[in-house]
């Protein structure tokens, strides 16, 4: 039992740091939010290229900077002009990735669309609704982690993610429903927000599964070692990608 919690201290410490930084950026909004999201998206693309094409070397950094720059540019453009720029890095990068091109195309597009959608959600709908999205995804992950480790039981998809269980999966839905109930009581959305929150939790878990399947395909345990207890940015924000693409 002790081994199943061996990463808890590092996970909680780095997790609290990320939550604090994220809340500050979301609350401030504006240019800080836009630049912050562009940097995170660039970091995720850097990890993705290194996973799929380790021989890319400095090209991984160039592709990451191009993706972050394209996202930042798209945020400042009118929507219809932004969309081609948003997807351009996924298309252009195919020339630099010799294999796993479908994975590169899909994940790069998902990273940039998710980040763009979250910025738009903050700027159009306000800080409350971006906080709702973030809380749904975070609570889904936390509830799943603790319930899965404490209860155990049948595995959700052992071939792709051996540690994830049905107990943790369902606990994530329950946690999301609680967040939905709390926000429904304080906004004009009403009870329907509970169902939407559970759907976002499911999309978040799908994003998690997709990233796990991608790592399994290339034989990697983590996307990088940037975040103690969590792995890399892709490992930490894979659920956010699924939830944001579904919701935004």
Q: Which positions ≥6 away from 21 have C-beta within 8 Å? A: none
- Contact (CB, 8 A) for 67 and 89: yes
CB atoms within 10 A of CB 129: 17
Q: What is the mean pLDDT of residues 226-241?
A: 84
Tens of pLDDT, residues 93-129: 888 888 889 999 999 999 999 999 999 999 999 999 9
Predicted TM-score of the model (pTM):
0.91
Q: Which ranges of 53-187 does DSSP label H, i.e. alpha helix?
A: 58-76, 79-92, 101-120, 127-151, 166-184
Q: How confident is the model at residue 2 (pLDDT cuts 50, 70, 90)?
A: very low
Give Dmax over CA atoms of the chain in angstroms: 54
Instruction: Please classify residue 76 by burial: count the beta carbons closer than 10 Å to its beta carbon, then call 0-12 exposed, 13-18 middle and 19+ buried.
Output: exposed
Tens of pLDDT, residues 131-159: 999 999 999 999 988 888 888 888 888 88
Q: How far apart are CA 205 and CA 243, in angstroms?
A: 8
Tens of pLDDT, residues 16-73: 888 888 889 999 999 999 999 999 999 999 999 999 988 877 889 999 999 999 999 9
Q: Check pLDDT > 90 for residue 222.
A: no
- Percent of the chain with pLDDT strictly greater than 70: 95
């Amino acid at each position: 039992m002790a081994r199943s919690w061996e990463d808890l201290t590092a996970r909680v410490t780095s997790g609290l740091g990320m939550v604090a930084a994220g809340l500050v950026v979301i609350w401030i909004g504006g240019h800080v939010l836009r630049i912050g999201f562009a940097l995170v998206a660039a970091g995720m693309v850097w990890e993705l290229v290194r996973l799929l094409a380790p021989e890319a070397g400095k090209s991984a950094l160039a592709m990451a900077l191009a993706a972050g720059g394209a996202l930042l540019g798209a945020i400042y453009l009118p929507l219809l002009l932004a969309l081609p720029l948003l997807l351009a890095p996924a298309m252009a990068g195919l020339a630099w990735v010799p294999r796993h091109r479908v994975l590169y195309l899909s994940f790069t597009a998902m990273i940039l669309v998710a980040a763009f959608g979250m910025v738009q959600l903050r700027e159009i709908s306000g800080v409350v609704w971006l906080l709702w999205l973030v809380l749904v995804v975070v609570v889904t992950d936390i509830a799943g982690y603790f319930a899965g480790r404490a209860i155990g039981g049948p595995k959700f998809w052992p071939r792709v993610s051996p540690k994830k269980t049905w107990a943790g999966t369902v606990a994530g839905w329950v946690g999301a429903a609680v967040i939905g109930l709390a926000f429904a009581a304080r906004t004009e959305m009403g009870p329907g927000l509970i169902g939407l929150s559970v759907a976002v939790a499911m999309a978040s878990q799908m994003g998690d599964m997709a990233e796990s399947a991608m790592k399994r395909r290339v034989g990697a345990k983590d996307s990088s070692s940037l975040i103690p207890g969590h792995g890399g940015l892709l490992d930490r924000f894979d659920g956010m990608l699924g939830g944001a693409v579904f919701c935004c």
